[in-house]
Amino acid sequence: MRPLQKNLRHCQNVEVVEMDITNDDSVNNAVEQVLKKYGQIDVLVNNAGVAGFGLFESTSLENMKGLFDVNLFGVVRTYQAVLPSMRKHKSGLIINISSGFGIFASPFVVPYQMGKFWLEALTEVFVMK
């Protein structure tokens, strides 16, 4: 038994479906698995994230791509996987866990902040007013 599943084994109504948010197939397969079993997804919580610290000019593009693949494109993958079903059922809630770094800028965490600013913008687009 995996650690997360072991920790949740006494929780009623909690099921863990693993996915690698950096992999399109993994996200799509996880969502399809849930839809097949339950018919719809009521809530998506985007909580995955990685941080990076240091001088901007010393942060490699590869490192930034890794941050963005989780913090930006991971969110896009999950949105694109669940939104068709949520739109079909005319219901659903998406919760994005962000950071204070998404609303103010400071030195030494610029690539991380770029992703969080982007997440704040995406979240605002989907806020129902």
The structural domains of the chain, with segments of one domain joined by +, span: 3-125
Q: How far apart are CA 96 and CA 41, in angstroms?
A: 15
Query: Which pLDDT value is given to residue 27?
Result: 98
Query: Which pLDDT value is given to residue 38?
Result: 94
Q: Is 65 a catalytic residue?
A: no
> Which entry of 88, 98, 99, 129 is annotated as an active-site residue?
98
> What are the tens digits of pLDDT across the range 65-122?
999 999 999 999 999 999 999 999 999 999 998 877 777 778 888 888 888 888 888 8
pLDDT at 5 over 90: no
Residue 77 dihedral angles phi and psi, to the nearest 5°: -60, -45
Work out the end-to-end distance of the chain between its first and last CA atoms, rounded to an integer number of angstroms: 43
Based on its alpha-carbon atoms, the radius of gyration of the chain, rounded to whole angstroms, reads 16
Say which CATH topology domain 3-125 has.
Rossmann fold (3.40.50)
> Which entry of 58, 60, 112, 129 is annotated as an active-site residue?
112
Angle between helices 73-89 and 24-38 (to 10 degrees): 30
Q: Is 6 a catalytic residue?
A: no
Any alpha helices (H) in the chain, and if so which ranges? 3-7, 24-38, 61-71, 73-89, 110-125
> Which entry of 37, 58, 116, 129 is annotated as an active-site residue?
116
Q: Is 88 a catalytic residue?
A: no
pLDDT at 6 over 70: no
Do 77 and 21 touch, CB atoms closer than 8 A?
A: yes
With H, G, I as helix, E, B as strand and everything else as coil, classify residue 115.
helix
> What are the tens digits of pLDDT across the range 36-51?
999 999 999 998 888 8
Do 51 and 100 touch, CB atoms closer than 8 A?
A: no
